Chain A
Amino acid sequence: MDLNQKGSSFLSEVVQASGETLQACYQCQKCSAGCPVAFAMDILPNQVLRHIQYGHREKVLSSKTIWICASCYSCSVRCPNNIDIAKIMDTLRTLALHSEFKPGEKDIPIFHSAFLDTIKSKGRIHELSLILQFKSKTRDFFKDAALGLKMYRKGKIKLLPSKFSGGKEIKEIFNAFEKGART
């Protein structure tokens, strides 16, 4: 296997951050065969593992695949080598956020950041605040507007967020996250 200096450093970075021995992958492709969202991926889960072994950092970190993975764990439970592939996808998303590469999917990382912003400011996910926050970032105000109205009529939309008094602790969690963010 062509493990040049750069290649092996990406492999060891992922192995270290995930704690998973992805070198054990022998390309049986069971992960990709059972993946419910493989049809929407640009590289299949087994190919992601191969690219990591080869040190193809940009190919992996700028892929759509790492964002499209729905974290359903089908791959992880079926891997004959016990590689927790879903966990590796989490690691890759974290590495991608701190990389120089543009994410392969536009809206999904924006959604995650809107989600975390909502927790940071409100302690809980107030769904309406999250949706408005996400829409203000993507500028797509009309998608699902009719559905939103129906939900409102069914009493499924809570207009105001709940009060909570754990704000100091939540602030501390996010301070640590923002300071400790890997570079």
Chain B
Amino acid sequence: MKEISYYPGCSLHGTAREYDDSIRGVLSLLDIQARELEDWTCCGASSAHCTDEDLAVDLAARNLAIAEKSNRELLVPCVACYSRFKVAENEVKEHSKKSRFSYHGNVPIRYSLDFFCDEPILDEVKKKRVKPLTGLKVVCYYGCLTVRPPKLTGIREYENPQHMDRLMEALGAEPVQWSYKTDCCGASLVMTRTDIVRKLGERLLSMAKEAEADCLVTGCPMCQANLDMRQEEFEKETGEKYDLPILYFTELMGLALGHKDVKKWLGRHLTDPVKVLSSKGLI
């Protein structure tokens, strides 16, 4: 059985519990053992880098130093944590920045979406798929830090990424094309400038509806929280009814792979995904 280190990050212990549960569920179906980093702490996103560069690097490096003690790759499901880790890695490796922890830039840092889109895993998913998501139209929403900046993420198609689309196809779903794959949802301003976030969120939801999607799929806990939990508020503002479920890609993986807890994960959403999935005969 393959083993990886796992850094859940703060959101996955709170608002994004279903993301944590579905990742662990899917990993176990793929015979991958996730070892949670012992005694991990917050990576510092999204405030440390707005305040002090050394603080930002140290908060990330503390966790990376723990991960470096083993020679396993590090799976990071929150894209904000991933981005801060990649920045710290780059500072230490390319700019010889010293952190106060014993971290040398030697641990492979893998964002969850990239990890699950590796060819061998995609092949395994196709093999183990028990319920193809036939007839489910999805828009793949990558957001900002999944792809940007490409010098850190290594994503070559950063203006029009395709890897989540390929994963959705492997699950049997139909990814529909839209032009908002990598547009920002503004989640970092959700507590402070809700007015800005509302404008960005409304546009994403209405464009996803225009593309005739049944749901929007993401791997970012901030995007998910923003678009799912604030959707009713956006609807009140515009008078439009979006009713668009915002799903984690791992929840759809769990559904296609026949995980027993899918309903439990979906039950935590504020915008109900069960209705549309059952209308397609998927649940």
Chain A positions within 8 Å of B, measured between CB atoms, are: 19, 36-37, 39-40, 68, 70-74, 76-77, 84, 86, 90-91, 93-94, 97, 105, 107-108, 110-113, 115-116, 119, 123-128, 131, 134, 143, 147, 150-151, 154-158, 162, 164-166, 169-170, 172-174, 176-177, 180-181
Contacts and interface: CB of A to CB of B under 8 A. Distances in A.
A84 B42 contact: no
A107 to B, nearest CB: 4
Contacts of A174: 55
A108 B196 CA distance: 13
Q: What 5 pairs across the A-B complex have the smallest Cβ distances?
A: A115-B47, A125-B10, A72-B184, A73-B148, A112-B47
A68 B144 contact: no
Interface residues of B, number: 54
B47 A156 contact: no
Interface string B189-206: 101111110011000000
Nearest to A164: B39
Contacts of A126: 10, 14
A170 B42 CA distance: 10
Contact of A158 (B14, B48, B195, B269): B14
B55 A162 contact: no
Interface of B: 10-11, 13-15, 17, 39-42, 44, 46-55, 58-59, 62, 95, 100-101, 144-145, 148-150, 158, 182-184, 186, 188-189, 191-196, 199-200, 229-230, 233, 267-270
Given A116-B51, A127-B14, A165 B39 contact: yes
Main secondary structure on B side of the interface with A: loop
Contacts of A74: 144, 148, 182, 184
B87 to A, nearest CB: 9
Main secondary structure on A side of the interface with B: helix
With most chain A CB atoms within 10 A of its CB, the pick from B11, B48, B183 is B48
5 contacts: A37-B196, A77-B158, A112-B51, A119-B44, A156-B14
Contacts, number: 160
A127 B55 CA distance: 20
B59 A119 contact: yes
A35 B15 CA distance: 28
Contact of B192 (A71, A111, A128, A181): A111
B54 A76 contact: no
Contact of B55 (A108, A111, A154, A173): A173
